[in-house]
Amino acid sequence: MHVVMLAFPRMTQLDLTGPFEVFTRFKELQVDLVWKTAGPVTDASGLRLVPSKTFADCPPADILFVPGGPGQMALMEDQETLDFLRGQAKGASWITSVCTGSLVLAAAGLLTGYRATSHWASIDQLTLFDVEAVCQRVVVDRNRVTGAGVTSGIDFGLTLTAMLFGEERARAAQLGMEYDPEPPFAGGTPSTAPAATVSAVTAVLAPFLAERVAISKRAAAALKASVDVKP
């Protein structure tokens, strides 16, 4: 099975590398990092990753995957990327994402009418695209599988590989990775974090989120207009 993982400038690398680590533990999966060009892409924190395929030479995907990150905002209005995702999705058995990658899939019209999740700070924007937003670590709706924010990528990968290859093999991969989360304190979601922490983080994110909301609204309007003009 061919896994196409979109790798784009200013992505959050853990959105991608968490699932990548899981996928590469299954010999049946051939994984490619894909971008417009063959040169390195730099994530939002400065880590450089090298795509193995370009849009032009990428074989059809069995599993299509999109990570999130600040660079996701530009992709929502990037017709070349949206057209690539739509084209790959036509033959894909699974269409997937982690974090705000789901907003990119939504902007491409690939989550319309589905249940999906995203990072807690942006999950409400899914509703702009007629997507049912679900505050859950991993959401499976038919052949759409979406993970919540950043660290959910490993959970997402294990969930998908369990459906593909059985729970026993997914459990073996989990053990091989020693994935047994034990964070130093509770508070990784707004419902578990202290109210003061939620307020502080939300305040820091506010200008960035305002920009993302504006772009999401434009992308949703563009998607609706494209659907309305189709015969």
**Catalytic residue list contains 135:** no
Q: Which of 66, 99, 145, 154 is catalytic?
A: 99
- State the CB neighbour count (10 A cutoff) for residue 25: 17
Give the pair of three-digit tokens for residue 2.
């061919």
Phi-psi region for residue 184, left (φ > 0), alpha (ψ -120 to 50) or beta? Answer: alpha
CA torsion sign for 115, 28, 11, 218 is: negative
Q: Closest by alpha carbon to 29, among 40, 21, 38?
A: 21
The DSSP H or E segment spanning 54 is strand 53-54
Report the C-alpha dihedral over residues 89, 134, 33, 61, rounded to 10 degrees: -20
Distance CA 105, CA 64 (A): 10
The DSSP H or E segment spanning 223 is helix 195-228
Coil, strand or helix at 14: helix
Distance CA 100, CA 119 (A): 6
Q: Which residues are catalytic?
A: 99
